[in-house]
Amino acid sequence: MKSITHQFMRAPYQVLIFPFIKEGEEYRYAIFERRDLGVWQGIAGGGEDNEMPLEAAKRETYEEASISGDSRYIRLSSITTIPAINICGLKWGDIIMIPEFAFGVEAQSRELKITSAHTQYLWLNCDDAIKKLKYDSNKSAIWELDYRLKNGLAGIDKNIQTIKNFL
């Protein structure tokens, strides 16, 4: 009998997720060393089929760090664009730049079960994480997450409206 597998259609966006945990009065953030590039970053991946970015973030976080989709996710204002060719070629025709949406997720434990895509992970404070992270988009997202957590700022509506005003 022939095996049937579903071929997912890659959506034209990327997600970036930083797990966080509060220890006493301090926040720690998990960053991951990529096996293929040897760089430190957050959990990253793309949407599949008709997934919205939050759904993709939950799936990627579960796949790469075994953090439940029921955990608390925080949508961040940090958005960047990435050349599509760096992700999976120019498969979307004239779409040459794709957005990267950033999230934070509250981890229940420091113990994460990571996939072979990563060699290791570290829990660091924001400043130390920024020093190790490779990409500016990761540095901006983790800074925003840290600021929001420390100052009780949950909503991004004002930031999104400001961005929309200039599009």
Band (pLDDT 50/70/90 cuts) for residue 86 is confident
State if pTM tops 0.85.
Answer: yes
Q: Is the pLDDT of residue 6 over 70?
A: no
For the chain, domains (ranges, CATH) are 10-165 (3.90.79.10)
Query: Which amino acid appears at position 44 of this protein?
Result: A
Question: In the chain, which ranges are continuous DSSP H helix?
Answer: 53-65, 84-88, 126-132, 136-151, 157-165
Query: Which amino acid appears at position 31 of this protein?
Result: I
Q: What is the pLDDT of residue 8?
A: 65
The H-or-E segment that residue 80 falls in is strand 73-83
Mean pLDDT of 71-88: 92
Q: Taking Cα atoms as reference points, which of 162, 134, 61, 53 lies closest to residue 99?
A: 53
